[in-house]
Amino acid sequence: MAGARASGVDWLRRERAGQQSGKRKQLAEGSRGSLQRFNMAAGAETFSLREVLVAFTACVSEQREVRVDPYLAGWKGLVRFLNCLGTIFSFISKDAVTKIEIIENYRNSDQREKYLTVQSMVEYELANGLVDLQQRSKHPDSGCRTFLRLHRALHWLQMFLEGLRTGEDNSKTSVICSETYNASLANYHPWIVRKAAGVAFCALPTRNTFLETMNVGTAEEAVAMLGDALPYICEVYKITEELYAQHKLLDLP
């Protein structure tokens, strides 16, 4: 286990060194373009936890701002993860695909520089009255509202993956998934969706089978890489949560 984690850390260091010489620029460019080109909805590309790790390590700037392009790149990897598990998570992955597409449209618009970071997006949209604060009306798909939905779903995935990482070999994935869902994303779903999700979770595979879908080797190696990846995801979540709380945006309709 220790050896597997050490190898994961060594790999991460090499990746981060590579980022300094242009990796971040490649990630930003790679996250642009249509979702059709990326083939997310079709699940044509194989999920890799390494891809998600690279994306989220590039998210936070030296000024502790969350870069939008690497964030979307990380989410594309997470969508592939959900898709490879079958239709069980389609109610989440399909919504995430829609939200990613909306944000990418802003990044490809004339105002693309205003959406370079989450901080610049919030500042721009609030200053120009582009956010529906009380009820959805003129701006139903504002960047702030759309990003908040991804932010909430990321919280659930963060908790779920942490539960997988720390669970025992005989832990029931269905229980981990259900408990973390009920503690996070379920609060924003109607009763019928929560009910259907609870039934669907019962069909999840065992913990070790689940870990092997991450395509980084054995279950133990997946656990080690989750240990590397999750702190970056947690940091991105924390910075975004604090920003939205500061501007009273956590309950956008």
Q: What is the pLDDT of residues 63-115, one digit of tens each?
A: 999 999 999 999 999 998 888 766 777 878 899 999 999 999 999 999 999 99
How far is 187 from 183, CA to CA, in rounded Å? 7
Quick one: tokens of 28?
A: 């930003």
Reading the block at residue 79, the tokens are 């969508």
- Write down the pTM of the prediction: 0.80
Band (249; pLDDT cuts 50, 70, 90): very high
Integer CA distances (angstroms), 211 to 51, 65, 226, in order:
15, 31, 10
Q: What is the pLDDT of residue 86?
A: 67
Most confident of 27-41, 71-85, 137-151, 209-223: 137-151
Higher pLDDT, 210 or 178: 178
Mapped onto helix, strand or coil, the DSSP state of residue 230 is helix
DSSP state of 167: S
Indicate the pLDDT class of residue 189, thresholds 50, 70 and 90: confident
Position 19 scores a pLDDT of 45
Closest CA to 114 of 105, 124, 104: 124
More confidently predicted of 68 and 12: 68
Mean pLDDT value across residues 221-238: 94
Q: Is 67 helix (H, G, I), strand (E, B) or coil?
A: strand
Does pLDDT of 222 surpass 50? yes
Q: What average pLDDT does the structure give for the chain?
A: 82
Higher pLDDT, 153 or 197: 153
Q: Which residue has the higher pLDDT, 201 or 153?
A: 153
